Chains A and B, each alone.
Chain A
Amino acid sequence: MTNAVRKLLAKPWIWSYGGAFLVWLAAIFFTRGYGAGGMITAALSLAVFTVVVGIAQMFVVTLGPGNVDLSLPANIGLASAVAMTVMSGDDDLVAIGILAALACGLAIGTINYLLIWALRIPPIIATLSASFIIQSIDISYGRGLQIKPPPGFADFTNIQIVGLPLLAILTALFTIGASIVLHRTVYGRSVLAIGQNMSAARLAGIKVGLARFATYALSGALGGLDGALLAGYFRGANVDIGNEYLLASIAVVVIGGTSVAGGKANVPGIWGASLFLVLLLTMLNTFGVSPGVRLLLTGLIIVGVITAAGGEKALD
C-alpha cells in the first residue's frame, strides 16, 4: 500500500492534480459547498481548450531547447474566423468548417516549419514572425465578423452526459491517443529522441527534419481545431479569442511536468495543469476579486508553482 502511494507520488503529474484539487477545495470552502459539482463541470468544459493547445505545445517543446510555438494565439484567432465563415451558421456545413479550421492551422504550422528550415532561425523567432503576419490577416479579415456558429455546433460544444461535458470526454480520448502516439509510434519516439539529443537522433537514422515538420504541422492543426471549438463554445469568432492561450499553453506544459529542455513529455500532466489553471481562475472569480488582483494573483501563482515544481538541473 505505502509502496503504491510512494510510486504515485513519484509521478510528476500528480502534483498538478493535487494543486487543482486544493484550489477547488478553497473555492467550495468559500461558497460553503454551494456549486461544487457545477464548478467541476464548468472547469472541465473550459479546460478542454487549454488541453488541446497544451498537447500541441507539449509536442513542440519536447523537440528540445528553443522549440516553442508562439503563433498559437494568432492561429486560434484566424481559425475561429475561418471556421465561422465557412459554417456560415448552417448546421450542414459544420464538418467542412472544422476541416477548414484544421487546414488553416495546418497551413500555419507548415509555414512555421518552412521559416525555421529555410531561414535557419530559432523556432521562437520563426513562429513570432509568422504570428505577426497571421495576426494582421486575422484583423483585416475577421474584424467585425459577426457570424454566429450553427446552432447544432454551438449545442454540441455544450452537451453534457451525467454532468460530464461531451467535449471533455472526447478530449480525454484524444489525450489517450496523443499518449499512444508519443510513446508507441515511430513518430512519437523520434520526437522524444530528437529532444534528448538531436545529433544522436540524426546519427541513429531518424528523419529529424520530417519529424520536426510533422510536429509543427500538428501543433498548427491542433491550434486550428481549438479555434473552431472556441468559436462554437463562445458563440462566435473573435480576433482576441486565442490571446490567453500563449501563457496557458506554455504554463500547462511546464506545470504538467514536461521537461523544457526537451526529450521528456508528460501527457496526463497537461490535464492536471489545465484543470489547475481553470479552477484557479474560477476560485478567484468566486472570491469576487477585481480584474487587476486576478491578473496579479494568476501571475504570482504561476511563477510560484513553476518555482516549486522547479526546472531540473542541467545534466552537463
Chain B
Amino acid sequence: MTVVTTGAMQLKPRAMGRLPRLLRTLLPGLSLALVLAAIAALNPRAISYFGFTLMLNLAVPIALATIAQMFVITGNDLDLSIGAFVGFVGCVTATYLRDAPLFGIILLFGCLAIYAAVGALIHLRNLPSIVVTLGMSFVWQGLSILLLPKPGGRAPDWLLAIMGHKPPLIPFPVLAALIVAAIAHFGLMRTSYGAILRGSGGNAIAISRAGWSLLKAKMALFALAGLFGVLSGLALIGITTSADANIGNGYTLLSIAGVILGGGEFVGGRISPIGAVIGALTLALAASPLLTFMHIPPDWQVAANGAILIVVLAARVLISRAGTER
C-alpha cells in the first residue's frame, strides 16, 4: 500500500532522512532554477514577459507529450510511438480539422480508441510495450506521410487564436504549463481512481486482488496518453501553423527524458506530474535558448538533453546515498 498512499517522489521510508528526501523532491525545481539562473546571467533581458513567451513557446507541446508518456510509464510501460503520434495528430489538425472539422474530431477520437486498444493488446497478450509501440510508431508515421506527403496544411484559426493568446502578467506558456501540471496532478495524485492507476504500476497483484480490473487500468492509462498526445499535437500546430509528417519525431525521447528528469521512475508507478512538467520545461529551455546564449551550435542540442539527464540522475544518486548513509 505504500506506493498508493505515499507521494511519487518519496523513496522507501527506510533509512531515508528528511533532508535528502526534501532535496530529492526539490531536485526537478532546482534544475529548472539553475537553467533559468544561467539564462538570466547570460542574457538578463530574456527574463521578461516577452522573453518567456518566446523561449517557452515550444515547451507547451513538449510538456503535454511528457504528461502523455508519464501515464504510460505509470503502468510500467514505455511509449516509443508518442513522437510519431504527435506528428500524425499534427497532420490531421492542419488538414481535416480545418477543412472538415467534424470528420477531424471523429478521427482524433478514433486515435484515442486505438491507444486504448494498444493498451489492451499489451495487457492481454503480455507483450513488451517497447516493441508494440515501436511498431505503432511506423503505423502513425506511415499514416502521416499518406495524409501529408509534403509539409503543408494550415492550423485552424481558433487554434491559432488559443496558442497566440496573451494573458495579462503571466506569459501564456507558463500559464499553460501550470494548468497542465495542476490537472494531471489532481487527476492522478488526488483522485481515488488515480491511486488505482498508480497502483497498477506499483503492485499489480494487490490491485487485482482488491477487485480492480488491470485491463481497464491499462486501457485508461493508454487512452489518457493518447488524449495528451492529441493535445500536444494540437498545441504544436497552433504554434507552427502548418504541419509536416516528421514534426513530432523528437518528442519520443524528449518525453521520456522529461518524465525521468521530473523524478519519475520506470517501475513501481512512481511518477510526479508536476515534476514531469518541470522536467519538460527544463529540457525545452536548456536545449535551445541556453545553448544559443552560450553561443554553442545547435548540433549540440540533443547532447545538452543527454547531459542534463545524466547530471540530474547523478545528483539523485548522491542525494539517495547521503540519505541511506545517515
Contacts and interface: CB of A to CB of B under 8 A. Distances in A.
Contacts of B310: 115, 119, 129
A293 B266 CA distance: 34
A130 B139 CA distance: 27
Contacts of A122: 266-267
Interface residues of B, number: 45
DSSP class of B's interface residues: helix, strand, loop or mixed? helix
Nearest to B305: A132
Contacts of A251: 131, 134-135
Nearest to A307: B125
Contact of B138 (A119, A125, A139, A247): A247
Given A140-B297, A312-B126, A314-B126, A133 B303 contact: yes
A119 B253 contact: no
A40 interface: no
A7 interface: no
B253 A128 contact: yes
A201 interface: no
A22 to B, nearest CB: 19
Contact of B139 (A121, A133, A303, A310): A303
B95 to A, nearest CB: 14
B300 interface: yes
B14 to A, nearest CB: 17
Interface SS of A by simple majority: helix
Interface in A257-316: 260, 290-300, 302-303, 306-307, 310-314
A124 interface: yes
Interface string B40-62: 00000000000000000000000
B226 to A, nearest CB: 16
B257 A128 contact: yes
A254 B127 CA distance: 10
Contacts of B306: 128-133, 136
B299 interface: yes
Given A292-B145, A296-B143, A247 B135 contact: yes
B220 interface: no
Interface string B300-320: 111111110110011011000
A125 B145 contact: no
A314 B299 CA distance: 43
B256 interface: yes
A247 B302 contact: no
A120 interface: yes
Nearest to B124: A307
B138 A132 contact: no
A124 B252 CA distance: 13
Contacts, number: 140
B104 to A, nearest CB: 19
A76 interface: no
Interface in A96-143: 115, 118-122, 124-125, 128-133, 135-137, 139-140, 143
A288 B128 CA distance: 32
Contacts of A250: 130-131, 134
Nearest to A300: B139
Contacts of B121: 303, 307
A298 B314 CA distance: 39
Given A254-B128, A311-B126, A299 B137 contact: yes
B317 A120 contact: yes
A68 interface: yes
Contact of B266 (A66, A295, A306): A66
Contacts of A131: 306
Contact of B135 (A120, A121, A128, A303): A303
B297 A129 contact: no
B136 interface: yes
Contacts of B281: none
A143 B132 CA distance: 32
A297 B143 CA distance: 10
Nearest to A303: B135
B235 interface: no
29 contacts: A119-B313, A119-B316, A124-B78, A124-B266, A125-B309, A125-B313, A128-B253, A129-B306, A129-B309, A132-B257, A132-B305, A133-B302, A133-B306, A136-B306, A143-B299, A250-B130, A250-B134, A292-B144, A292-B146, A292-B149, A293-B146, A296-B139, A296-B146, A298-B142, A299-B139, A299-B140, A300-B139, A307-B127, A310-B126
Given A128-B257, A139-B299, 9 more contacts: A119-B316, A128-B256, A132-B257, A132-B306, A133-B306, A143-B299, A251-B131, A300-B139, A306-B132
Closest A-B pairs by Cβ, 3 of them: A132-B306, A299-B138, A296-B142
